[in-house]
Structure 1
């Protein structure tokens, strides 16, 4: 159990979010909420696709308790840094708006939308592009399988889409944005542990879930790795393990050769074997690039996420964690510069966020820019 899960053990949700009754096969049929019942014709772009803006969320004292000051410093630091490259919209409770604006500065737009926690990758909509512009997939966030209270977070995806006047696609499965990774060209990576799991999708097989993923995100190839159930609050999201830097290239968070054997090193070994023999939607083998994990980071909690792979790609830059291991931090920055030529690599200390079991990618969600279209319908942007 990660520290984040332990901290929140006393605030578990009593109820999850029910599975949608709609089917992803009912292509384009209008839904009661004004969106659609399927993702027919939609596709999820890769993260390097140009962004309109980045969404983030302001952490609450009810969740973070004694760690609230440290984690707010981390979130404000991330928001201010991203704002140097693209607009940032940060959600905060009404009573926290003033504090969030003061911490983040005038370059970050703070909007009053109620939240429980900061993990925007999981609670926000996952955006897809198509012939009709843009839509948002609502993955029915249920507190990572009812591990954490989520009464407000379960409504965040819909609130954002309503605010921006973007069509909502209600998924027929339960999941989180951090549980999927796409190359933007038809290939999706996922851990079975975080989706083929009774705490999200009881009674659904891997094939059922894969069918939904294909329709929702416009992919034709889904590559599954085992992951790990029940050892962290997310049941091991893919965005802490493996990411696409471009179609055909996967970068993996790689344990040190002398790291003790445990469920995490076993999960890496299994995933590496799968990816070494996998082919993408184009029928081509994947190139796997290792991104070594830091070693010299001092004493950390059991749930600390020491993964450089949880970086975030923005317009013109890559925002990555730094852990204070000078050699490992330097090596990671060098690898990321090679993977993303032409983008500035910025490393940030996010120690409190890491103790919560997440990092920069987990706390952000991109709004992609539709080709040939301008957004700005929500608040006059």
Structure 2
């Protein structure tokens, strides 16, 4: 029996900083320079927003490090944006998924340390792996001298939503899937999630394999606002598709579920923007995550909680953007400053603010 336990803290606990990544010149956007430039700019904007609240580490491939140094030398923020050079030119922006998932390792005599779980990223089920992203977690942890925790399962950080009090919420389609964990039962996967995240209860939502490039990650569908409170992304489709069914299934399951401490959930819904306000993805953009037959991810639940703030995505739909801000004000009140960030390219590529970031928790004192 192990002499230590691992525990994933809730996102609202204090952070020591947040990690992001600039896309590489030889990554999945290499044949789409306009999209590469827009994605780079939007990640940079998110980094600057976060740096109003806490330190940022921006990982950049060697081939773009001078460009990044020149860009951020002109930027002033209350907290530093530190560039971290990473070897490899096929970097991507989705740090939540291919970066390490940080946990607190708790040993005898209240001994605590920071560790990172390496969930064996394989390019979202083999769709879009690159040499840099599949090796990123191990390399980054080694660079930062943070202990690496190995595991027998494959998953991504965006698939895992915890309340920090023993409850984990995720979609079955994004992990009990042969493109990630062939031959493994749901129970086997659940046992390893319990070990690596320190959770006691898992709430499974069906999701849909192949619905988007992540097989329906939870962080664009439902998020814990605090223990016992969930923000649910309400589908807004002119002609309902499977995404509407996924939302309806999630609402039904969560409405009757309880957390690890036996509490029923209060569910607040925030409707997604009107899809008819946005142009379809460019023709011929095949092989790019989030574009090839995949729905754009325009979800207000894909926010990031930072120290004293919330980085809230906005999509250019005035009515729904304003409604999301009002929802955040209602949920967080004076507790957090709302910092809206407009994103256009990242949703088309299959993600958003939360997908592009990975927080590093402070080690609790007690």
TM-score (norm 2): 0.88
Measure the CA separation in 1 of the matches of 2:238 and 2:328.
23
Measure the CA separation in 1 of the matches of 2:183 and 2:198.
24
> Once the two structures are superposed, what CA deviation does each residue of 1:76-95 show, in whole Å capped at 9, x if it has no partner?
11111111111000111112
> Once the two structures are superposed, what CA deviation does each residue of 1:233-269 show, in whole Å capped at 9, x if it has no partner?
110100010000001111110023x632211001111
Residue equivalent to 1:129:
104
The 5-angstrom pairing of residues 267-282 of structure 1 reads: 267-282=246-261
Greater shift, 134-143 or 149-158, is seen at 149-158
Tell me the CA shift for residue 117 of structure 1: 0.8
Q: Is the 8 A contact 2:211 2:243 kept in 1?
A: no
In the alignment, is residue 183 of structure 1 matched against residue 156 of structure 2?
no
Measure the CA separation in 2 of the matches of 1:346 and 1:228.
32
Residue equivalent to 2:290:
none
Q: Is the 8 A contact 1:59 1:116 kept in 2?
A: yes
In the alignment, is residue 326 of structure 1 matched against residue 318 of structure 2?
yes
Residue equivalent to 2:109:
none
Tell me, what secondary structure is at the counterpart of 2:301?
coil
> Once the two structures are superposed, what CA deviation does each residue of 1:178-225 show, in whole Å capped at 9, x if it has no partner?
011000000000000010000000000111111111111010000000
The 5-angstrom pairing of residues 146-225 of structure 1 reads: 146-225=126-205
The 5-angstrom pairing of residues 259-298 of structure 1 reads: 259-295=238-274, 297-298=277-278
Measure the CA separation in 2 of the matches of 1:182 and 1:298.
32
Greater shift, 198-207 or 297-306, is seen at 297-306
Residue equivalent to 2:300:
308
The 5-angstrom pairing of residues 26-37 of structure 1 reads: 27-28=2-3
Residue equivalent to 1:61:
25
Tell me the CA shift for residue 162 of structure 1: 1.4
In the alignment, is residue 372 of structure 1 matched against residue 340 of structure 2?
no
Q: 1:359 aligns with which of 352, 359, 363?
A: 352
In the alignment, is residue 102 of structure 1 matched against residue 70 of structure 2?
yes
Tell me, what secondary structure is at the counterpart of 1:362?
coil
Residue equivalent to 1:117:
92
Q: Is the 8 A contact 1:44 1:127 kept in 2?
A: yes
Tell me, what secondary structure is at the counterpart of 2:135?
helix
The 5-angstrom pairing of residues 20-31 of structure 1 reads: 27-28=2-3
> Once the two structures are superposed, what CA deviation does each residue of 1:312-358 show, in whole Å capped at 9, x if it has no partner?
00111100111111111111011112222321111111101111010
Aligned residue pairs total: 336
> Once the two structures are superposed, what CA deviation does each residue of 1:117-165 show, in whole Å capped at 9, x if it has no partner?
1110011110111332211111000001110132211221112211222
Greater shift, 292-301 or 322-331, is seen at 292-301
Tell me the CA shift for residue 306 of structure 1: 1.2
Tell me, what secondary structure is at the counterpart of 1:190?
strand
Measure the CA separation in 2 of the matches of 1:259 and 1:188.
32
C-alpha change, 1:362 and 1:165, in structure 2 (3 Å) is same
TM-score (norm 1): 0.85
**5+ unaligned residues in a row in structure 2: which ranges?**
107-111, 282-293
